[in-house]
Amino acid sequence: MRVKLVCVAGGRPNFPKLAALFRALGTRTDRFETRFVHTGQHSDPRMSKLICEELGLPEPHVDLGVGSATHAVQVAEVMRRFEAVLQAEQPHGVVVAGDLNSTLACALATSKFFRDEPFPFRGKPRRRTVLAHLEAGLRSFDDDMPEEVNRRVTDCLSDLLFVSEPAGEANLCREGVAPERQHFVGNVMVDTLLSLQARAAASDVLARLGLEPRGYALLTLHRPSNVDDERQLRTLLDTLDEIAIELPVVFPVHPRTRARFEAARIRPRSERFLLTEPLGYLDFVKLESSAKVVLTDSGGVQDETTVLGVPCITLRNNTERPITVTEGTNVLGHTTREGILGAYAALHREPRSGRVPRAWDGNAAERAARVLEQAFA
Ligand code: UDP
Specify the pLDDT at position 16: 98
**Percent of the chain scoring above 70 in pLDDT:** 100
pLDDT at 362 over 90: yes
Residue 61 falls in the annotated catalytic set:
no
pLDDT at 158 over 90: yes
Nearest Cα residue to 45 out of 73, 75, 15: 15
Specify the pLDDT at position 43: 80
- Could you tell me if the CB of 257 is within 6 A of ligand 1? no
The ligand 1 atom at the shortest distance from the C-alpha of residue 220 is: 5
Q: Average pLDDT of the chain?
A: 97
Tell me the C-alpha distance between 304 and 190, whole Å.
7
Specify the pLDDT at position 45: 87
Task: Please report which confidence band the pLDDT of residue 89 belongs to, taking 50, 70 and 90 as the band edges.
Answer: very high
The ligand 1 atom at the shortest distance from the C-alpha of residue 11 is: 20
Task: Please report which confidence band the pLDDT of residue 57 belongs to, taking 50, 70 and 90 as the band edges.
Answer: very high
| CA–centroid distance, residue 117 to ligand 1 (Å) | 39
Tell me the C-alpha distance between 234 and 244, whole Å.
15
Task: Please report which confidence band the pLDDT of residue 124 belongs to, taking 50, 70 and 90 as the band edges.
Answer: very high
Specify the pLDDT at position 44: 86
pLDDT at 349 over 90: no
Global confidence as pTM: 0.98
- Could you tell me if the CB of 278 is within 6 A of ligand 1? yes
- Could you tell me if the CB of 47 is within 6 A of ligand 1? no
pLDDT at 351 over 80: no
Buried-state track 332-369, b at ≥16 Cβ within 10 A, e below 16: bbbbeeebbbebbeebeeeebebebbebbbbbbbbbbb
pLDDT at 352 over 90: no
The identity of residue 204, as a single letter, is D
Task: Please report which confidence band the pLDDT of residue 116 belongs to, taking 50, 70 and 90 as the band edges.
Answer: very high
| CA–centroid distance, residue 12 to ligand 1 (Å) | 6
Among the residue ranges 40-44, 176-180, 187-191, 250-254, the one predicted with the least confidence is: 40-44
Specify the pLDDT at position 350: 83
Provide mean pLDDT across the span 59-87. Answer: 97
Dump pLDDT digits (tens) for 228-271: 999 999 999 999 999 999 999 999 999 999 999 999 999 999 99
